[in-house]
Amino acid sequence: MKLYNTMSKKKEEFVPLEQDKVKMYVCGPTVYNFIHIGNARPMIVFDTVRRYFEYKGYEVNFVSNFTDVDDKIIKKAIEEGVTADEISKRYIAECKKDMEGMNVKPATTHPLATEEIGGMIELIRTLIDKGFAYEKNGTVYYRTRKFADYGKLSHKNLDDLRSGNRSLLVTGEDEKEDPLDFVLWKPKKEGEPAWESPWSEGRPGWHIECSEMSKKYLGEQIDIHAGGEDLIFPHHENEIAQSEAANGKEFAKYWLHNGFLNIDNRKMSKSLGNFFTVREISEKYDLQILRFFMLSAHYRSPLNFSAELMESAKNGLERIVTAAENLRFLMKNAQAEAMNESEKEAFAKTREYVEGFEKAMDDDFNTADAVAAVFELVKYANTTADGDSSKEYLQGILDVLGKLTDVLGIIVEKKEELLDADIEALIEERQAARKEKNFARADEIRDELLARGIILKDTREGVQWKRA
pLDDT in tens, 337-364: 999 999 999 999 999 999 999 999 999 9
Binned at pLDDT 50, 70 and 90, residue 27 comes out as very high
Contacts by residues 347-350 (CB-CB < 8 Å, ≥ 24 positions apart): 347/393, 347/396, 347/397, 349/380, 350/377, 350/380, 350/396, 350/397, 350/400
Q: Radius of gyration of the chain from Cα atoms?
A: 25
Residue 141 vs residues 145, 183, 242: alpha-carbon distances, Å: 12, 5, 11
Asked whether the beta carbons of 416 and 378 are under 8 A apart, the reply is no
**Per-residue pLDDT for 167 more than 60?**
no
- The type of residue at 300 is R
For the stretch 185-231, pLDDT in tens is: 999 998 899 999 999 999 999 999 999 999 999 999 999 999 999 99
pLDDT digits 0-9 by tens, 49-96: 999 999 999 999 999 999 999 999 999 999 999 999 999 999 999 999
Per-residue DSSP letter, 220: S
Q: What is the pLDDT of residue 47?
A: 98
d(CA 222, CA 243): 11
Q: What is the mean pLDDT of the chain?
A: 93
